[in-house]
Amino acid sequence: MKDAQPNAIFLKDYQAPNYWIEKTDLVFDLHEDHAMVSASLSIRLNDDVEGLPDLVLSGIDLELKSISIDGHPLSDADYTELRDQLCVKVERQPFCLEITNRIKPRENTSLEGLYLSNGMFCTQCEAEGFRKITYYLDRPDVMSVFTTTIIADKHRYPILLSNGNDVARGEAGQGRHWVKWEDPFKKPSYLFALVAGDLQLKEDLFTTMSGRDISLRIYTEAYNIDKCDHAMRSLKKSMKWDEDVYGREYDLDLFMIVAVDHFNMGAMENKGLNIFNSSCVLTSPKTATDSCYQRVEGVVGHEYFHNWSGNRVTCRDWFQLSLKEGFTVFRDSEFSADMNSRGVKRIQDVSMLRTAQFDEDSGPMAHAVRPESFIEIANFYTLTIYEKGAEVVRMIHSILGDDLFRKGSDLYFERHDGQAVTCEDFVRAMEDASGKDLTQFRLWYSQAGTPVLDVSDAFDEAAGEYTLTIKQSCPPTPGQHVKKPFHIPVRIGLLDNEGLPVTLNAQGSDEVTLDIRRSEETYTFTGLSAKPLPSLLRGFSAPVRLNYPYSTTDLIFLMQHDTDSFNRWDATQRLAMAEINSVIEALGNHQHPTINPALISAWGEVLADQSLDQAVKAEMLNLPSEASIAEQRQSINPDLIHRARKQVKRAIAKTHQMAFLALWKKLSVKKPYKPEATDIAERALKNTCLGYLVTLDNLQYLELASDQYRQSGNMTDQLAGLVAVVNAERHEQALIDTLLDDFLATYRGDANVMDQWFSVQANSPTLGTLAHVLSLMEHEQFDASSPNKVRALVGAFTRNMVQFHKTDGSGYQFLAELVIEFDRKNPQLAARLIQPLTRWKKYEENYQAPMKKALTSIKALPDLSTDVFEVVTKSLSTH
C-alpha cells in the first residue's frame, strides 16, 4: 500500500539520471515459497553530473540480504533503506554494486514484478515492475546489457527463459538445473523478462531479408499446444510485413512468445521474450471467434513491431509512452488492414475510438497524448495514449504521404537506434526527412480534448461557387481551459445531384485534403451548376467530432453514393443515431415513438445492395452500440438508451424480416472454418441478420438461433447462436438454461472459452442481474485471481445498461466493494474496473447520486493504492 496522499510527477521536472548502469548480471534462485535475486550492476556516473551524489535505487517489497561494492560488503552507515528506495553512498566511480534480495513471487497478486500464473513463474515489468524484483534505476532512460541466470527445480520448471540467447546450461544438484541467457542489446529494465515452468513448445523458422534464420518459439502449457498455429502464422506475417513496409529486420537469433493465463493486459513486448495473455495467443476453430483470431493477429503484430518502435528506440520517460504505443498501434492497424479488409478495419478502429477514447477525452481523466503529469503511470495505458496516439501518427502519415513518411521513419530509427527519446524526436525526424513544418501539428501531443469541427456551406448559384466554412473549437479539459487551434487534415469530396463525384481542382481530383489551421477557414469551389453534397472527413482523416446539418435525405444519399466506404458507413450511423435520439426523447416524455420509415427503407436498400462488400454491409446494418449512443448523449439515461435502440432495431427487423431470413439462409452454407476475410465477412453478416431476427417475438427465429448454436462447427457461429437465444425477444428460460449448460459441459476447463460463457450472461439485459452475477462469482469455473475472468464477468456487468445502472445504486455499491477488495490484491485491475463510475456527471440526476456515493465510499478508505486513489480523486474533483 502506498501513501494516502500520493504526489503527482511532472514532465517539466524530468532530469537525466545521476548514474548509468552499463551492465546488469542477474541470478535468480527460484524456490516454492521465495526467490533469491542477486544483481551485479556496473555503474558509472553521468558525465553531466558534478560530485558523487548518493545512488538512489527503487525497490518495493524487497528483503535486502546483502550489499557490497566491488566485492566489499557495505556497513550500515554506507546505505539507507527507505520504504521504496535504497540510498547508497558513493565514494568513487565507476563501481560494481552487488545486491542480493529475497522476494515472494507466490504472494505477489499484483501481477507486476515476478509472480506465478498456474504454477509458472513469469514477469511483467512495464512500467515500474522491475523494482519489485530487485533494487534498480527503474526508469526507461537507463539502458543496460543484461545477462540472466535462472536456477530452479528441473522437474517442475524444465523450461527456463529470459531475454536474448541461451548461452549455457547445467546441473545445479539436488534435482535443480540452471540456464544462462545473454541479451546483447541494451535495454531498460521494463523490457526484462523471465519465465520458468513446465511448458510445451511450438517451433518454426523465419528467414530474414538478409538471409538470417530466426528460430521462432511459442510456449504454452501442454494442453494448449495445438492452439498456436494461427499465432505462429501471424508472427511470420508480421516479420515479413515489417521488412516490406518499414525495412525493419529482426535482430536476435531467437524470438519467443509465452502464453500465460494470469495477465493484467493483452501482452508485453519484452526483448526476444514476449509474454502474452493466453487469450491473445490461443485459437482453434471450435474455441476462438473470428474477432479472437483477428485480435491474436493484431496483438502478435503489435508486440513484434515494438522490437523497433519501443525496444531498439525506446522512451526517455513515461510521459513519452505514446511515442512507442501510438506509433506501434498505427503500425499494427496498418498491418491488420493489409492482411484483412482495410475498409472494415478502419470502421472498427474508429468505432472504438469514438466510443471509448472520445469518452475518456471528455471526462475527468482526460489527458494529452503526451501528458504533463500523472500520479500513477499504470493509469496512463489509455485509449488516448494508444488509439488517439495512433491517430496522431496516422495524420502525420497522411500529411507526409507514404514515401516521405517512410523516409521519416527510416531517419527516426537510424538516428535514435539504441537511445531513449521523446515524442519531439519523432516529430523532428518526420520534419527533417520531409521538409514539412509540423510546428502547429505538435499541439496534438500537448492539448487534450476532442476538437469539434462545425461545418456550414453556401452556394452562389449565379457565380457557380460553393463555399465551405469550417470552424474549430476544443472543449476545456482538466487543467487546460483554453486551447489553441490545431492543424487538422480534413479529407473531403463533393457529390453532385446524381451522386457523382465533383472535380475539385485543376489536377482533376475529386478528393482533397484541407489543412485546417485557424479557428475558422473558408474554402471555395468554383464551376458548379448546382449545390453539391459534401462528404466530409473521409476515412476519418482526423480524430475530431464533425457537425454538419445533414438532413435524412442527405444521409441516405451519402449511404448510396459516397465513394468513400467509411463515410457511407458513417452516414448509416448518423442516421441511426438521430433516430435513436428521437425515440429516447419520445420515451422520456412517455410518448409512443414512431420510427422514421425513411430509415427503415434505407436499411432495406443496404440489405439488398449486391455491390457492397459483405463485411462493410454488416457494419452498415449494425446500429450504434449502447456505449456509443451514451457517449454522444448530453445526459445519459441507460434504460432509455437500451429501450430506444431495441425499438429501432425491432422496427427494422419487422419490416425486413424476410430479407434478413433469406440472407441468413444464403450465408448458412456449411463449409470448413477459415479465419479469412471473406469468410469472416460472411459470418459477420449472417450473425447480424440473426441478431435482427431474434428481436421479433417469433418461435421460428428462436429455433433458428438454437439450431445454429447446435449445428455450427465453429465458435463464431456457435456463440452468436447462444447470444441470440439468451437475448431473444422470445424468452425461453428452459432453452437458455439448456444451451448454457451444454456450453459449460463442452468447454469447462478451457479458461478462454469460459470467459465468453460468463460474459454472455453478465451482458444480458434479462439474465445479467446483480444476483446472478454474484452467484456466478461463486461458480467453480470463476477465478477471482484471473483478470480475464474478472473482466469477463464483472467488466461485462458494468457495461450492462439495464442491470448495472439501477437507480437504487445496487450495481454501483457492488462495484465499489469489489474495487476495494481488489485494490489490496491487484491495484491495476481495480483501477480499471472502477472506470464506469468515473463518468457519473454525465448521467441523469437519479443515477448521479448513487454513482457518486459509491466513488465517495472508495475514496474514504485509507491506504488506497496510487492507482485507485488517482482515478477516484480525479473523478470526484470539481475542477
Residue numbers annotated as active site: 303
Which stretches of the chain bind Zn ion, using CB under 5 A?
325, 328
Which of the listed partners (Zn ion, ligand B3K, none) does 359 bind, with a CB threshold of 5 to 8 Å by partner kind? none
Asked if 257 is part of the footprint of ligand B3K (rule: CB under 6 A), the reply reads: no
Choice between 160 and 378, CB closer to ligand B3K: 378
Which of residues 29, 98, 221, 325 is near ligand B3K by CB under 6 A? Answer: 325
Give the number of other Cβ atoms within 10 Å of residue 298's Cβ: 22
Asked if 832 is part of the footprint of ligand B3K (rule: CB under 6 A), the reply reads: no
The rounded distance, in Å, linking the Cα atoms of 421 and 140 is: 10
Among the listed ranges 261-269, 685-693, 776-784, 787-795, the one in contact with ligand B3K (CB under 6 A) is 261-269
Choice between 308 and 709, CB closer to Zn ion: 308
Which of the listed partners (Zn ion, ligand B3K, none) does 829 bind, with a CB threshold of 5 to 8 Å by partner kind? none
Asked if 867 is part of the footprint of ligand B3K (rule: CB under 6 A), the reply reads: no
CA distance readout (Å), 71 to 66, 308, 391: 11, 37, 52
Which of residues 25, 29, 98, 126 is near ligand B3K by CB under 6 A? Answer: 126
Least CB distance to ligand B3K at residue 546 (A): 29
One-letter amino acid of 476: P
Asked if 271 is part of the footprint of ligand B3K (rule: CB under 6 A), the reply reads: no
Which of the listed partners (Zn ion, ligand B3K, none) does 126 bind, with a CB threshold of 5 to 8 Å by partner kind? ligand B3K
Among the listed ranges 141-149, 265-273, 454-462, 704-712, the one in contact with ligand B3K (CB under 6 A) is 265-273
Which of the listed partners (ligand B3K, Zn ion, none) does 265 bind, with a CB threshold of 5 to 8 Å by partner kind? ligand B3K
Choice between 325 and 361, CB closer to ligand B3K: 325
Choice between 235 and 490, CB closer to ligand B3K: 235
Quick check: helix, strand or coil at residue 214? strand
Asked if 133 is part of the footprint of ligand B3K (rule: CB under 6 A), the reply reads: no
Least CB distance to Zn ion at residue 142 (A): 20
Grid coordinates representing 475? Answer: 472543449
Quick check: helix, strand or coil at residue 40? strand
C-beta separation of 92 from 79 below 8 A: no
Choice between 130 and 358, CB closer to ligand B3K: 130
Asked if 297 is part of the footprint of ligand B3K (rule: CB under 6 A), the reply reads: no
CA distance readout (Å), 141 to 12, 136, 188, 313, 338: 16, 12, 7, 11, 34
Choice between 130 and 804, CB closer to ligand B3K: 130
Asked if 138 is part of the footprint of ligand B3K (rule: CB under 6 A), the reply reads: no
Q: 304: closest CA among 245, 380, 354, 220? A: 245
CA torsion, ordered 841, 856, 639, 695, to nearest 10 deg:
110
Contacts to ligand B3K from residues 678-717, by CB under 6 A: none
Which of residues 29, 261, 269, 457 is near ligand B3K by CB under 6 A? Answer: 269
Give the number of other Cβ atoms within 10 Å of residue 563's Cβ: 15
Least CB distance to ligand B3K at residue 300 (A): 11
The rounded distance, in Å, linking the Cα atoms of 359 and 840 is: 12
Grid coordinates representing 597? Answer: 420509415
The rounded distance, in Å, linking the Cα atoms of 196 and 33 is: 14
Q: 193: closest CA among 151, 159, 161? A: 161
Among the listed ranges 23-31, 251-259, 260-268, 550-558, the one in contact with ligand B3K (CB under 6 A) is 260-268
Which of the listed partners (Zn ion, ligand B3K, none) does 37 bind, with a CB threshold of 5 to 8 Å by partner kind? none
Choice between 132 and 302, CB closer to Zn ion: 302
CA distance readout (Å), 319 to 137, 316, 469: 17, 8, 36
Choice between 124 and 450, CB closer to ligand B3K: 124
The rounded distance, in Å, linking the Cα atoms of 310 and 368 is: 20
Least CB distance to Zn ion at residue 259 (A): 17
Asked if 268 is part of the footprint of ligand B3K (rule: CB under 6 A), the reply reads: yes
Which of the listed partners (Zn ion, ligand B3K, none) does 466 bind, with a CB threshold of 5 to 8 Å by partner kind? none
CA distance readout (Å), 614 to 306, 608, 673, 803: 33, 11, 17, 34
Which of residues 303, 425, 562, 755 is near ligand B3K by CB under 6 A? Answer: 303
C-beta separation of 7 from 128 below 8 A: no
Least CB distance to Zn ion at residue 455 (A): 35
Least CB distance to ligand B3K at residue 274 (A): 9
Least CB distance to Zn ion at residue 307 (A): 11
- How wide is the angle at C-alpha 20 spanned by C-alphas 19 and 25, nearest 5°? 125
Least CB distance to ligand B3K at residue 868 (A): 14
Asked if 381 is part of the footprint of ligand B3K (rule: CB under 6 A), the reply reads: yes
Asked if 183 is part of the footprint of ligand B3K (rule: CB under 6 A), the reply reads: no
Asked if 302 is part of the footprint of ligand B3K (rule: CB under 6 A), the reply reads: yes
Q: 452: closest CA among 568, 354, 305, 531? A: 354
DSSP assignments along 740-783, one per residue:
HHHHHHHHTT-HHHHHHHHHHHHH-TTT--HHHHHHHHTSTT--
DSSP category for residue 538:
G
- How wide is the angle at C-alpha 758 spanned by C-alphas 755 and 764, nearest 5°? 130
CA distance readout (Å), 128 to 113, 132, 136, 863: 8, 8, 10, 20
Grid coordinates representing 652? Answer: 427494422
Among the listed ranges 180-188, 262-270, 659-667, 833-841, the one in contact with ligand B3K (CB under 6 A) is 262-270
Cell 463510475, residue located: 837
Choice between 325 and 425, CB closer to Zn ion: 325
Which of residues 69, 216, 378, 694 is near ligand B3K by CB under 6 A? Answer: 378
The rounded distance, in Å, linking the Cα atoms of 824 and 848 is: 27
Least CB distance to ligand B3K at residue 111 (A): 9
- How wide is the angle at C-alpha 284 spanned by C-alphas 787 and 294, nearest 5°? 70
Which of residues 67, 265, 344, 629 is near ligand B3K by CB under 6 A? Answer: 265
Which of the listed partners (ligand B3K, Zn ion, none) does 682 bind, with a CB threshold of 5 to 8 Å by partner kind? none
Count interface residues toward ligand B3K (CB under 6 A): 12
Choice between 267 and 502, CB closer to ligand B3K: 267
Least CB distance to ligand B3K at residue 681 (A): 28
Least CB distance to ligand B3K at residue 202 (A): 22
The rounded distance, in Å, linking the Cα atoms of 76 and 92 is: 18
Give the number of other Cβ atoms within 10 Å of residue 605's Cβ: 11
Choice between 328 and 614, CB closer to Zn ion: 328
- Residue nearest to ligand B3K according to CB distances in the complex: 126
Beginning with the edge strand found earlier in the chain, give each strand of the sheet holding 545-547 in spatial order: 520-525, 465-473, 452-460, 545-547
Q: 615: closest CA among 281, 289, 290, 237? A: 290
- Interface residues with ligand B3K (CB under 6 A)? 126-127, 265, 267-269, 302-303, 306, 325, 378, 381
